[in-house]
Amino acid sequence: MLILLDQDNVLADFKSGFRRHWRGRFGEDAPIEGKEHIFYIRDRLPEHLRPHAAELYGAVGFFESLPSMPGAVEAAHALLAAGHDVRICTAPVNQYRYCAGEKIAWVEQHLGAGWTRRVIIAKDKTWVRGDILIDDKPTIEGSLPPLWQHRLYDAPHNRHLNVPRIVWTQPETWADLLDN
């Protein structure tokens, strides 16, 4: 089975990295609390602060420094060990100058050099072949009907949906994927 793993908020903890960078830059917590139902973190900010979000994740070092999601590295290795073709399918942000290279560097740092050959960077994930895409985004839209089944990775911004979801630290939520 060809399993596609989203990177941000599935493998790499974008939200906690954003909070850490915001505190480092502005000396206070990002004002995003109470708006967890909104997918894009910049849209959780007051309008006048949104350009600062783009500055943060468009800056050198942002993506490479993200921590891994709890259990994500072990889960990715377990899926590969189960005989699946596992790929990382990630979309770059619009401030892409450092994003793509740093996403690959993150993969090497957290998963190993061999995994860098498994990275697919695509703005439109519907163009990517696969059997399953594990992604935290509630709806994946693009220019083609997807060939993959979307499996939702649990996040506050998608909890309004009444569907099964995957959590790496809860193996029972993805144990069926270990059966090849």
By annotation, the residues acting in catalysis are 6, 8
**CB within 8 Å of 166: residues ≥ 6 apart:** 134, 151, 152, 153, 154, 173, 174
Please tell me the distance from the alpha carbon of residue 89 to that of residue 149, in angstroms, as a whole number. Answer: 14
**126, 140 Cβ separation under 8 angstroms:** yes
What Cα–Cα distance (Å) separates residue 126 from each residue in 97, 150, 154? 23, 11, 21
Q: How far, CA to CA in Å, does 79 sit from each of 45, 56, 109, 175? A: 36, 32, 19, 10
User: Where are the extended beta strands (E) located within 105-180?
Assistant: 119-121, 132-135, 149-153, 165-166
Distance CA 99, CA 17 (A): 14
Paired tokens of 41 = 């973190």
